[in-house]
Amino acid sequence: MAQERKDLSYEINIDVGGTFTDFYLNDQASGAFLTKTPTTHYDLSVGFMRGIKDLAKSCGLGRRQLLEQTKAVRYCTTVGTNALIERSGPKLGLITTAGFEDTIFLGRARSWADGISVTENKDLARINKPTPLIARDMVVGVRERVDSAGQVVSPLQAEEVLEKLQVLVDRGAMGFVVCLLWSFANPVHEHMIKSIIEEEYPEDYLGSMPVTLSCEVSPKQGEYTRFITTAVNAYIHGVMAEELNALIHDLRSAGYKRPLQLVQNTGGMKKVSRTRAVLTHNAGPVAGLHGAAALGETYGQGNMVFTDMGGTSFDIGVITGGRLKTYDFIQVIDRWRTNIAAIEVKSIGAGGGSIAWLNELMGKALNVGPLSAGSMPGPACYDQGGEEPTVTDADLVLGYLDADNYLGGEMLLDPDLSQEAIRKKIAAPLGLEVAEAAARIRALVDANMGQEAFNEVALKGHDPRNFILFACGGAGPAHACGFAPYLGVKKVLAPFYSPVSGAFGASTVKVQQVWNHSATMKLFRWKDQAYSQDLDAFNRVVEGLKDLALRDLRLEGYSEDRVSFRLELDMRYGMQYNLTKVTSPHLTVRSQEQFKDICDRFTEEYSKVYSPEATYPQGGINVECFYLTATVDQAPAVWTPADLAGPEPPAEAALKPRKAYWRALGGFKETPVHDFHKLLPGNVILGPALVDARHTTFVIEPFWRFTLDRFFNGVLEPA
């Protein structure tokens, strides 16, 4: 069989989660294969290679045979995020403009609350600013000044840089962050400092000292967020480089010869050597959102709510008009406010591993999350030492999960341990039966997820009832009927790839990069109520970004004729603070009329967000930041529909019934169970019922209907 497949090309996509590492392999000839392995936090490459081995077995190949025939490995990594959480990054030195050494320590007013849960936010007496990534004694200032127009006011002195550099080295610096005032307007001094460091510490002399410049990582206005973004990138860069180098070495030793490609939170993908570390944060959920958008095109759906309930978190993304155009205004990574143009995906602590607990300060009020049992020790039923009750334990007690067939039988669950954990920590203190306590845990986590999903749609000005809901993640299909009613949606789609949505989404992500640059331009002047005549200033910024993008993509082996560009602009009315992101109708401008087109597009977008009555072009219209997205054109993903069978499931799809708890029916009832992999397109199952798949379970509540559609995706609808 391996010989027959030797000429085929495989694509392997991986998403590392807090509990499981997900794998999705697609092959045009033999279809798709997916698997999950527990995330090995002590060494991610262990779980990674285990998953590759499982995929090879599914394909009828050895691991080396598979990797030798693989044309692409795409990776969503959490290495950098973990380094921030654990504070395991290198000791860094920060070089900045003299007088601004305390910028990252003063922070912003929101620094107290950024990145912490609502529960922690309420405990005002215990809220603290995060411990800085760079210690105060590792920050030095050099005398130099570039003004807001990019003019050098005070030249940089090389002797002073060398003097301050030696101070940082003597204090143990293993890398340098360079953040000077207005460097995005003129980066000459930052580049000079980098040249001095590289000359003083070349690679062949005690090892090179990594240097991270703010003008390269974050060339945007906003002193604090620019400094923090650069510091975060430098902090996680060293850890990522070490981990990814080891992973690449393992892949090459096992037979894979092509570059490893990293998915980015800006919605693109690039090889490791061309990826900035800060862009890998939250890449898995962004990839999942991409997958939902790609599948939505197949269904002709433009408005979608993407949800992913995994083991640790519940991710929510909104797609309107078929496009991922909503960017997070303030992207918070761990506790740090950054300014990267990341696609907005909200995450809350609600997953299969979320811990149920009683808040003694609130009269033993039941809470679920945000803390998670993770993969080690995991839920109590994993029998790995975990003693805290989790959502997975509740689902097992309620009969929704098959203890002997979890993850296709690769992991056995112990219902007695779940019973004991819930009885001891929840049921007994509240005076409840274990089943009732488990049902309350499930109802609470469903309510939390449903309300957050509703807010994400409604607070952006949309009616959730006009959207289709994607229920992804290993626990998504099991809870979809529980949280969908909070949105009022008419249809829930639980795709065949639900358990590995991030890995599947990585297969749909294109090679692209977002380049940005802050530059204030008045497109419409309030003084004389006229459009700008300075076309060259606008075009110079765009052409500069275009040159950077093409340079990078050529280094990856892509020719210019395969690259397409999209220009987005941060715009606002004169003297306003908040920005509105607008997709420009023109890449470059050739007349004042085209400036008018851009301003009209801004007015249109502004009116959608703030209402037509709020528009005020007479106050002037400014551009504050340019975002150029360069995308390599490639064929879109195509799924071939299958022929429909009748609504009645085949007899061989029926599994042994099991007792499951249905609150609407008064308790435990003998419930029919079906094998997802033996159902045929067109089959219809009325709730209450359970559908067991290898890596997930579809829980069909009473008064709901399950249909397997032509693309082998599960469709859940109120009956």
**How confident is the model over 62-75, as a mean pLDDT?**
89
Note whether residue 454 is domain-resident.
Answer: no
Percentage of the residues of the chain whose pLDDT score is greater than 90: 49
Q: What pLDDT, on a 0 to 100 scale, did the predictor assign at position 687?
A: 85
Residue 162 has pLDDT above 80, yes or no: yes
pLDDT tens digit sequence for 496-512:
899 999 999 998 888 88
Alpha-helix residue ranges (DSSP H) falling in 123-222: 158-170, 188-200, 214-217
Q: What pLDDT, on a 0 to 100 scale, did the predictor assign at position 8?
A: 56
Note whether residue 304 is domain-resident.
Answer: no
Residue 664 has pLDDT above 80, yes or no: yes
Q: Which of 217, 236, 255 is the last residue of a domain?
A: 236
**How confident is the model over 692-716, as a mean pLDDT?**
94
Note whether residue 285 is domain-resident.
Answer: no
Helices 188-200 and 158-170 meet at what angle, rounded to 10? 60
- The owner of tokens 């960017």 is 327
Q: What pLDDT, on a 0 to 100 scale, did the predictor assign at position 327?
A: 59
Lowest mean per-residue pLDDT among 17-31, 145-159, 226-240, 640-654: 17-31
Q: CA 229, 231, 235: angle at the middle one, nearest 5?
A: 120
Q: What pLDDT, on a 0 to 100 scale, did the predictor assign at position 125?
A: 74
In sign, the C-alpha dihedral spanning 173, 175, 179, 183 is positive
Note whether residue 251 is domain-resident.
Answer: yes
pLDDT tens digit sequence for 616-625:
999 999 999 9
Q: Are residues 657 and 712 in the same domain?
A: yes
Q: Model confidence at 603, in pLDDT bands (50, 70, 90)?
A: very high
**How confident is the model over 680-692, as a mean pLDDT?**
95
549 phi/psi in degrees, rounded to 5 = -65, -45
Note whether residue 612 is domain-resident.
Answer: yes
**3-class secondary-structure state, position 257:** coil
Note whether residue 691 is domain-resident.
Answer: yes
Q: Model confidence at 5, in pLDDT bands (50, 70, 90)?
A: very low
pLDDT tens digit sequence for 319-371:
988 777 655 556 788 888 888 878 888 888 888 889 999 988 778 899 998 88
Q: Which residue has better confidence, 324 or 189? A: 189
Overall domain count for the chain: 4
- The owner of tokens 């049902």 is 439
Q: What pLDDT, on a 0 to 100 scale, did the predictor assign at position 181?
A: 95
Q: Which of 598, 632, 666 is the last residue of a domain?
A: 632
Q: Which residue has better confidence, 484 or 247? A: 484
Q: Are residues 683 and 655 in the same domain?
A: yes
DSSP-derived secondary structure for 287-332: HHHHHHHHHHHHHT---EEEEEE-SS-EEEEEEBTTB---B-SSEE
Lowest mean per-residue pLDDT among 112-116, 216-220, 431-435: 112-116
Q: What pLDDT, on a 0 to 100 scale, did the predictor assign at position 461?
A: 79
Q: Are residues 64 and 96 in the same domain?
A: no
Nearest to 523 by CA among 511, 534, 509: 534
**3-class secondary-structure state, position 29:** coil
Beta-sheet pairing, 314-319 with 139-142: unpaired
Q: Are residues 567 and 694 in the same domain?
A: no
Q: What pLDDT, on a 0 to 100 scale, did the predictor assign at position 4?
A: 44
**How confident is the model over 185-211, as a mean pLDDT?**
83
pLDDT tens digit sequence for 446-492:
999 999 999 989 887 789 999 999 999 989 999 999 999 999 999 99
Q: Are residues 592 and 678 in the same domain?
A: no
Q: Are residues 573 and 616 in the same domain?
A: yes
Lowest mean per-residue pLDDT among 8-22, 425-439, 680-694: 8-22
Residue 7 has pLDDT above 60, yes or no: no
Q: Model confidence at 437, in pLDDT bands (50, 70, 90)?
A: very high
Q: Are residues 577 and 681 in the same domain?
A: no
Q: What pLDDT, on a 0 to 100 scale, did the predictor assign at position 510?
A: 84
Q: What pLDDT, on a 0 to 100 scale, did the predictor assign at position 122?
A: 73
pTM reported for the whole predicted model:
0.86
Q: Are residues 118 and 155 in the same domain?
A: yes
Alpha-helix residue ranges (DSSP H) falling in 516-568: 535-555
Note whether residue 639 is domain-resident.
Answer: no
- Highest-pLDDT range among 14-28, 84-98, 115-129, 173-187: 173-187
Report the C-alpha gap between 403 and 391 in whole angstroms: 15
Residue 284 has pLDDT above 50, yes or no: yes
Report the C-alpha gap between 512 and 568 in whole angstroms: 15
Residue 6 has pLDDT above 70, yes or no: no
CA atoms in the 13 A half-sphere facing the CB of 237: 23
Q: Are residues 663 and 702 in the same domain?
A: yes
- The owner of tokens 């029926």 is 654
Q: What pLDDT, on a 0 to 100 scale, did the predictor assign at position 171?
A: 94
pLDDT tens digit sequence for 481-491:
999 999 999 99
Residue 81 has pLDDT above 80, yes or no: no
Decide if 421 contacts 438 (C-beta within 8 A): no
Q: Are residues 54 and 39 in the same domain?
A: yes
Q: CA 276, 282, 284: angle at the middle one, nearest 5?
A: 105
Q: Which residue has better confidence, 116 or 521? A: 521
- The owner of tokens 């690259």 is 563
Q: What is the mean pLDDT of the chain?
A: 88
Q: Are residues 29 and 69 in the same domain?
A: yes
**How confident is the model over 23-29, as a mean pLDDT?**
82
Q: Are residues 129 and 34 in the same domain?
A: no
Beta-sheet pairing, 714-718 with 704-708: antiparallel
Percentage of the residues of the chain whose pLDDT score is greater than 70: 96
Report the C-alpha gap between 163 and 435 in whole angstroms: 69
Note whether residue 516 is domain-resident.
Answer: yes
b/e 276-297 (16+ beta carbons within 10 angstroms → b): bbbbbbbbbbbbbbbbbbbbbe
Q: Model confidence at 205, in pLDDT bands (50, 70, 90)?
A: low
Q: Which residue has better confidence, 251 or 410? A: 251
- The owner of tokens 């206005």 is 221
Q: Which domain holds residue 181?
A: 89-236
Strand partners, 517: 626
Decide if 336 contacts 114 (C-beta within 8 A): yes
Q: Hey, what amino acid is at 674?
A: H
Lowest mean per-residue pLDDT among 134-148, 359-373, 523-537, 559-573: 359-373
- Measured in whole angstroms, the distance separating CA 307 from the mean position of its chain's CA atoms is 12
Nearest to 707 by CA among 640, 643, 647: 647
Beta-sheet pairing, 70-76 with 93-97: unpaired
